[in-house]
Amino acid sequence: MALCGRRETTNIAFGRTLRGQSAVKHILQSMEDTTHLLRLKLVPVQGVPMLKLTADNWPEIEATQARPDDLIIATYPKAGTTWVSEIVDMIYNSGDAEKCKRDAIHVRLAFIEATFPGLPTGVQQLNAMKPPRLGKTHLPAQLLPQSFWDKKSKIIYVARNAKDSAVSYFHFYKMAKVHPEPGTWPEYLEKFMAGDVAFGSWYDHVKGWWQKTRDHPILYVFYEDMKEDPRREVLKLLRFLEREVSDEVLEKILHYTSFQEMKSNPMANYRTIPDELMDQNVSPFMRKGITGDWKNMFTVAQNEKFDEDYVRKMSGSTLQFRTEL
Dist. CA 231–CA 250, nearest whole Å: 8
- Whole-Å CA distances, 166 to 74, 173, 197, 294: 17, 10, 10, 8
Number of residues assigned to the chain: 325
Q: Each residue of 203-232: b (16+ CB within 10 Å) or e? A: bbbbbbbbebeeebebbbbbbbbbbeebee
**Catalytic residue among 26, 36, 138, 255, which?**
138
Asked if 70 and 135 count as a contact pair (C-beta separation under 8 A), the reply is yes
> Three-class SS of residue 72?
strand
Strands of 134-137's sheet in order across: 110-111, 134-137, 71-75, 154-159, 218-222
> Three-class SS of residue 63?
coil
Clarify whether 138 is annotated catalytic. yes
Dist. CA 31–CA 109, nearest whole Å: 26
> Three-class SS of residue 127?
helix
Dist. CA 276–CA 130, nearest whole Å: 31
Give the residue among 177, 9, 41, 11 at the shortest CA–CA distance from 105.
9
Asked if 77 and 198 count as a contact pair (C-beta separation under 8 A), the reply is yes
Dist. CA 173–CA 237, nearest whole Å: 29
Dist. CA 101–CA 105, nearest whole Å: 8
What are the residue numbers of the active site? 138
